[in-house]
Amino acid sequence: METLKFKEIRSEALEYWLSGLGRTRIAGELSDNYTDSYLCKWQNELTDKGKHCSFLCSIADWLDNFSDLLDDRRYDDLDQDNPEVLFRFYTKIMLIASEILEDFVYLHGKIMDIKKKGMMGKHLESYSFKEGELEQLSNFINSVSKHKTERENYHLHNHHLKHEFEDFGASFHENQISINSLSWSTVNHETTVMMPRLKYIAEIIVKLNQNLDKLLTEEPTYRDKLNEIFTKDWKEFV
């Protein structure tokens, strides 16, 4: 039986990521073409009015960081027998995802005039996500991917913990750190760390973009508030 290679996992996630966001990347190119993306659609409307929205334009450009990682073919021949290297790859992916997630959560909170960070995420979840989904992913990234020496987390308990990958068919079980369970108080030498599917992480970011597009389309006051905060006349810069 042929062993699953990381190329299949990475390629599927990249294809979903680009198509879901309306982005393209030609083989060998180092940047995306995102002129057909949700974000550029709204920016083009503003451009026609002589205006520019810093958030829309900047996040569209910044998403290339995620594409860069998914387009990195250096690890394609690796399989589940290379957990340390793959763990580093997933860590980098989740660090980028965390920044994007935080951006959209804070943007939504600002527009909806929500003061508490926790409530920002919960309110955003109510549109397109499962209850607690954004918070769970954020907590997992903060606890496992970010190198922290405060509170209970991976780096305070990593006595050569075993890494498992949902992408390679690993199953959820007891005595495991995962998105669904961050029970650091019970960690022992048999505890494993389950890394979520690569495509799932991409799905969260794609859904955040799609949700923003829907809100801008269906709620004029949301669009007006976004422009109030981030939009300037081009003549101020030229």
- List pLDDT tens digits, range 88-102: 999 999 999 999 999
Per-domain residue ranges for the chain? 6-236
Q: What is the pLDDT of residues 119-138, one digit of tens each?
A: 999 999 998 899 999 999 99
Q: Which amino acid, residue 196?
A: P
C-alpha–C-alpha distance, residues 226 and 1, integer Å: 53
How does DSSP classify residue 2?
A: P
- Other beta carbons within 10 angstroms of residue 212's beta carbon come to 25
Residue 216: both structure tokens together: 């801008």
Q: Which of 46, 41, 37, 92 is nearest to 65 (CA)?
A: 92
Q: Which of 202, 210, 211, 209 is nearest to 14 (CA)?
A: 202
Q: What is the pLDDT of residues 47-58, one digit of tens each?
A: 888 988 888 889
